[in-house]
Chain A
Amino acid sequence: MFHYIVMRVMKGGLTFLAAVTVTFLIVRLMPGDPTTAFISDSMTPQDVLALNTLLGLDKSLIEQYVLFLRNLAHFELGQSFFYKEAVSAIIAPRLGWTLLLIGTSLFITLIIGIPLGVYTARHKGKWVDQAVSTMIVLGISVFIPLLAFVLVYVFSLQFGLTPVGGAFTPGIDDAERIRDVIRHMILPTATLVVVNLAQIVLYTRSSMLDVLKEDYVRTARAKGVSDRSVTWGHALRNAMIPTVTVTGLMLGKMVAGAVLTETVFSWPGVGSMIYEAVQKQDFPLLQGAFIVLAFSVILMTLMTDLVVAWLDPRIKLHGGSMR
Chain B
Amino acid sequence: MIEKSFVESFSKHPLGMIGLVGIVIIVTLGLFGPMVVTYPVGYNEAIPLASPTLKNWLGTDGLGLSLIDEIVWGARTSLFISLTAVAVATCIGVPLGLVSGYFRGRIGALIDSVIEIAMTIPTLPLMILISAISGPSVGTVAVVIGIFSWPTLARIVRNSTLKLASLPYIEAAVVLGIPKRTIMFKHILLNAVGPALVDLTIIMATAVLTEAGLSYLGLGDPNAWSWGGILQTAFRAGHHFHAWWLIVFPSLAIMFFVVSFNLLGLGINETLNPKRD
Q: Please list the residues of chain A having a beta carbon within 8 angstroms of any beta carbon in chain B.
A: 11, 14-15, 18-19, 22-23, 26-27, 30-31, 37, 129-130, 133-134, 137-138, 140-146, 149, 157, 249, 251-252, 255-256, 259-260, 263, 274-275, 277-279, 281, 283, 286-287, 289-290, 293-294, 297-298, 301
B117 interface residue per 8 A CB criterion:
yes
Q: A141 to chain B: which residues have CB within 8 Å? A: 205, 209, 255, 258-259, 262
A-B contact pairs, 9 of them (CB 8 A): A11-B116, A15-B117, A19-B121, A133-B270, A137-B263, A256-B123, A256-B125, A278-B128, A290-B128
Q: A279 to chain B: which residues have CB within 8 Å? A: 218
Contact A143 B129 (CB under 8 A): no
B254 interface residue per 8 A CB criterion:
yes
A18 to chain B, nearest CB (A): 5
Contact B219 A278 (CB under 8 A): yes
B41 interface residue per 8 A CB criterion:
no
B128 to chain A, nearest CB (A): 6
Known contacts being A133-B266, A149-B240, A286-B128, is A143 close to B121, with CB within 8 Å? Answer: no
B15 interface residue per 8 A CB criterion:
yes
Q: Which one of A11, A23, A286 has the highest number of Cβ atoms from chain B below 10 Å of its Cβ? A: A286
The segment out of B42-50, B83-91, B130-138, B184-192 that lies at the interface is B130-138
Contact B216 A278 (CB under 8 A): no
Known contacts being A278-B128, A290-B129, is A252 close to B231, with CB within 8 Å? Answer: no
B5 interface residue per 8 A CB criterion:
no
Contact B15 A134 (CB under 8 A): yes
Complex Cα distance A145/B234, Å?
A: 12
Contact A133 B15 (CB under 8 A): yes
Contact A137 B266 (CB under 8 A): yes
Q: B275 to chain A: which residues have CB within 8 Å? A: 129
Contact B217 A283 (CB under 8 A): no
CB < 8 Å: which of B113, B129, B202, B235 contacts A23?
Answer: B129
B68 interface residue per 8 A CB criterion:
no
B106 to chain A, nearest CB (A): 16
B31 interface residue per 8 A CB criterion:
no
Closest to A289 in B: B125
B120 interface residue per 8 A CB criterion:
yes
Contact A30 B263 (CB under 8 A): no
Contact B259 A283 (CB under 8 A): no
Complex Cα distance A278/B121, Å?
A: 20
Complex Cα distance A251/B202, Å?
A: 18
Q: A281 to chain B: which residues have CB within 8 Å? A: 132
B124 interface residue per 8 A CB criterion:
yes
Complex Cα distance A11/B120, Å?
A: 11
Complex Cα distance A286/B133, Å?
A: 10
B165 interface residue per 8 A CB criterion:
no
Contact A249 B119 (CB under 8 A): yes
Q: B259 to chain A: which residues have CB within 8 Å? A: 137-138, 141
Contact A18 B117 (CB under 8 A): yes
CB < 8 Å: which of B120, B125, B217, B235 contacts A298?
Answer: B120
B71 interface residue per 8 A CB criterion:
no
B126 interface residue per 8 A CB criterion:
yes
B136 to chain A, nearest CB (A): 10
B194 interface residue per 8 A CB criterion:
no
B26 interface residue per 8 A CB criterion:
no
B212 interface residue per 8 A CB criterion:
yes
Q: Ordered nearest first, which 3 A-B pairs have the shortest CB separation?
A: A256-B124, A255-B122, A146-B251
Q: A289 to chain B: which residues have CB within 8 Å? A: 125
Contact B119 A274 (CB under 8 A): no
Q: B251 to chain A: which residues have CB within 8 Å? A: 143, 146
Contact B132 A252 (CB under 8 A): no
Q: A274 to chain B: which residues have CB within 8 Å? A: 125, 128, 217
Contact A26 B262 (CB under 8 A): no
Contact A283 B122 (CB under 8 A): no
Complex Cα distance A249/B258, Å?
A: 21
Q: A157 to chain B: which residues have CB within 8 Å? A: 241
B213 interface residue per 8 A CB criterion:
yes
Complex Cα distance A278/B129, Å?
A: 8
